[in-house]
Structure formats: structure tokens, C-alpha cells
Amino acid sequence: MMIIARNLLSAGLVLVWMTMPSGLRAAAEQGGDLQAQILYAYQTEDSNSLASLIQNLSAQLKDDPDPALRYHLAHAQYRMGLIAGEHRGRVAESALADCIDELKPVLQQDVKSVEAMALQSACYSSLAEHKKIEAVLLRSRAADRLKEASESAPRNPRVVFLIAMNGLARSNQNSAEHQAAFAKLQLAAQLFDESPATRTDAPGWGHAEAYLALGRELVMRGDRLGARNWIEKSLIVAPEYKAAQRQLALLTRP
């Protein structure tokens, strides 16, 4: 029965897609392509491609202030901030601050946009790692955004994943808080399993990161077999994901 239901659901989704007006379908396809380019550049740690995407999206927004384009630009800026990291702190700070600012008009237009709230929360949280003096304020804003997003969509996989990662980062290894965050990360992985890894009509990032994060957490818990399974799953979703490749290589060393 479950297989039949899935087939019917898939057929229904295809029908919805095929009957969508051509203009909307083209826009959705463009969104999916942009998302794939951003994720690939991030996973392969290609900052030049990300910089080019940011430049092109910024130029497009001058002619077309589409909230979807603005979201993709913010996502690309977030990924640039992550890649730049500590080695290029000023680049990271600038990119993450731009991500936050880029999402403000999106949230002014749609105050209940869960995806925009989640992404802005991630940018606030990442920026706090660079701006130590403002860290408390930035983390507070990140928590507020994530709380709003969770209240609106408690089973959104990106929201659950970000809550889990924040909890793991800010708790001691053997504490009850850390265990609760680990349970959240497991839930996030389950929710990502139930959602499409790539989507043309809405944000669909986070699968590979969640699987890798779960693998890393299992390594620290001494479960090397479980860790390997999740890291390999991350690479199935994103075969060129360099961080997962490095983690798997460490895990398979004698």
C-alpha cells in the first residue's frame, strides 16, 4: 500500500508540475538551477564560482527585485561566509552581514517566510563567530529568528537542523542539553530523508550537511560504523562534498 501511495503521490506531483503555467515553471527551473550551482560551489569549496554567482545575482536584482532571487543571493552570501571562515575573516564578515541585510526586504514582504527566517538565523549565528563583541546580540537575534521559524514550521528540516547544530555547539558533550540536541539532529536527518534532496520550486539545501554532522557526532561517540554510514550517505547526496570526503578519509585510516 505504501508503494502504491508513493506512486500516486509522484504522479500527482508530476501532474501539478506539467499543468503549471510555463512562466512559473521556467522560474522554478531557474531557481532549482541556481540552488544547485550555489550548493556545488560550496561543497567543492569554490569561492571564485560563489563570487561570480553573487555578482550575477546582484546584477539581476537591479532589474528584477524578485524575493526568490534575493533569497538565492543571500544563500550564496551565506555559503561564501562559511567558505571564507577564519582564514579570510573580513570576507566572511562582509558576506554574512550582506546575507542578513539581503533577507530583510524578503521578511518585510512576507513576515512568515520560514525559509528566510531560517537562513537569516544561520547568518546571524555564523557572523557571531567573527564578531566577538557583538556575539551575544547576534546569537540572540539568531535564536529569535529560529524560534519564529520553528513555531511556524516545527518539522521543517532546515529549521530542525539549525536548532540541533546550535544546541550541540553550545552544550557540553555529556550534558542533557547535548543529548537533546543530538536527538534533534537525528530528527533533522529523518526529516531530510522524507524531503526531496533537490527542488526546483523551493529551497532544498541541508541534506548533505545534516548527514555529515550526524556522522561527525557519532565519531565523537565512538560509533565508527554508524558514522561511516552517515558520511557515505552525505556523499551519495553530494559526491563532490570535500568536507565529507575528508571526514571519510580520516575515518577509514588504519
DSSP string, 196-211: -SS-SSS----HHHHH
pLDDT at residue 91 in the model = 95
Cell of 196: 526531496
pLDDT at residue 86 in the model = 76
Residues in contact with 251: Cβ distance below 8 Å, sequence separation at least 6, in sequence order: 215, 219, 224, 227, 228, 231
What mean pLDDT comes out for the span 53-76? 94
pLDDT at residue 4 in the model = 33
Given pLDDT bands bounded at 50, 70 and 90, which one contains residue 8? very low
pLDDT at 16 over 80: no
More confident residue, 251 or 198: 251
Given pLDDT bands bounded at 50, 70 and 90, which one contains residue 7? very low
pLDDT at residue 173 in the model = 87
Count Cβ atoms within 10 A of the Cβ of residue 195 and give its class: 0-12 exposed, 13-18 middle, 19 or more buried: middle
Nearest CA to 42 out of 27, 31, 53, 56 is that of 53
- Give pTM, 2 decimals: 0.85
Q: Is the Cβ–Cβ distance between 124 and 93 less than 8 Å?
A: no
Range with the poorest average pLDDT among 3-12, 83-92, 158-167, 200-209: 3-12
pLDDT tens readout for residues 164-188: 999 999 999 889 999 999 999 999 9
pLDDT at 126 over 80: yes
Domains (ranges, CATH) in the chain? 30-152 (1.25.40), 154-254 (1.25.40.10)
Cell of 201: 520550486
C-alpha–C-alpha distance, residues 226 and 230, integer Å: 7
What mean pLDDT comes out for the span 98-111? 95
pLDDT at 11 over 50: no
C-alpha–C-alpha distance, residues 110 and 233, integer Å: 35
C-alpha–C-alpha distance, residues 189 and 171, integer Å: 20
Write out 43-65 in H/E/C secondary structure: HCCCHHHHHHHHHHHHHHHHHCC
Task: Express as a percent the part of the chain with pLDDT over 90.
Answer: 77
